[in-house]
Amino acid sequence: MSEYQVQNPATGEVVEEFPTATDEQIRDALERSHKAYLSWRDTPVEERTAVLRRVAEIYTERAEELAGIIGLEMGKAVPEGVAEVKICNRIYNYFADNAAAFIEDELLRGPAGDDQAYLLRKPVGSLLGIMPWNFPYYQVARFAAPNLALGNTIILKHAPQCPRSAAMMEQIFVDAGLPADAYINVYATNDQVSEVILPSPLNQGVSLTGSERAGSAVAAAAGKNLKKVVLELGGSDPFVVLDTDDIDATVETMFGTRMGNNGQACNSPKRMIIMDDIYDEVATKIAEKAKALIPADPYADPGKLSPLSSISAAERFVGQVEETVKDGATVLAGGERIEGPGAYVQPVVLTDVKKGNAGYYDELFGPAFMLFRVADDDEAVTLANDTPFGLGSAVFATDRGRAEKVADRLEAGMVYINTPEASREFLPFGGVKRSGIGRELGPLAMDEFCNKQMVYKKA
């Protein structure tokens, strides 16, 4: 059985398999990627960004087709898949519009005189991207767009369950006019990453979005070979509700945000921290909404509950829930596998999750709501920061000043005030603590794999 295969999570059926690359094919890809870099780096930025504009157009033109591919690969409802494609359009256009300004020479201020010093921003070479299954197009776009705009080239290892979308992205770059081998899709193994790609002098760095375990392994291999890394490793984001003048609207926001992509998002708000005076009503309403969701095929009825990404993902998620309950948590709704074929799980609402409980520090990667009752703002902040992760966070209050004071005390790479998590092309994305290293998107993205070359001219 091939490691790379399309298995419909709604039925469990294996639809197609793809051959894993040989070591020789991986070495050939490295050679070709480096050779492409030698010309792509010298291509005027206006020509590089013209390719990105065409990529953006193609994503829009093929939105329904692209959404259908990932619906079959990892169970994403078609409307959500179309929305993901639209985000990709904005990302490619954003870097097409702004790349020239982002790499302008930067004058370095110093003592008055005739001497002159400045920074040049230059590409570094062929990069490896290791991307996850939960947002197959978006994750690639936020890595590929800034680096291709800068003049780097890319070898992309996608998740084994996303081989069709991986191949489609490579084809889109070809169709958009990207020079041959500036972007190469490889069906590589984890061993080939650590033993063939990262040790190669032709590779200049790696960006990974995935689990802590994967990030630790890749960072170790990269460090051994002195390669730059960017890591986005998930989170246990707090969603802090200090007060509300519309509980129904607040619950709708909380539920809709958490259930985006069926809860399978690194920056999904996984811990709902709620003030005591509104906690009971919020908990009751969230449990009612969780119980009401009905499973459906993401193609046939995308307005209902989609499957998790795979049978193994569903089994792993239910196992986490069962362990959390065994340790003392209370279930208000759901948490079981739904009978029948496919990777369907009823959304679970958990309370009484205490320190020492299996779910307190772990990331529950699926449709899980963990509800926490707090008495005041200080308790909310303490609880919000009591996590090894530090990716995103959200604070809601009718008094925006109060929300801002709480937000300022949160240990997270991203903070949202009176709005849930927001994936925007102009907002830098990344975290602190065990949520990773580096930033993607926004004006910071092009500085990650960039030679900030200092030039000093003596008068």
Residues involved in catalysis: 232, 266
Q: Tell me how far apart the terminal alpha carbons of the chain are, to the nearest angstrom.
A: 67
- Contact (CB, 8 A) for 244 and 399: no
Token digits of residue 408: 């300022």
The residues that bridge with 295 in the sheet, in sequence order, are 305
* CB-neighbour burial class of residue 64 (10 A; exposed 0-12, middle 13-18, buried 19+): exposed
Asked if residues 40 and 80 have their Cβ atoms less than 8 Å apart, the reply is: no
Q: Strand pairing partners for 416?
A: 394
3-state SS of the chain? Answer: CCCEEEECCCCCCEEEEECCCCHHHHHHHHHHHHHHHHHHCCCCHHHHHHHHHHHHHHHHHCHHHHHHHHHHHHCCCHHHHHHHHHHHHHHHHHHHHHHHHHCCCEECCCCCCCCEEEEEEECCCEEEEECCCCCCCHHHHHHHHHHHHHCCEEEEECCCCCHHHHHHHHHHHHHCCCCCCCEEECCCCHHHHHHHHCCCCCEEEEEEECCHHHHHHHHHHHHHCCCEEEEECCCCEEEEECCCCCHHHHHHHHHHHHCHHHHCCCCCEEEEEEEHHHHHHHHHHHHHHHHHCCECCCCCCCCCECCCCCHHHHHHHHHHHHHHHHCCCEEEECCCECCCCCCCECCEEEECCCCCCHHHHCCCCCCEEEEEEECCHHHHHHHHHCCCCCCCCEEECCCHHHHHHHHCCCCCCCCEECCCCCCCCCCCECCCHHHEECCECHHHHHHCCCEEEEEEECC
Distance CA 434, CA 212 (A): 7
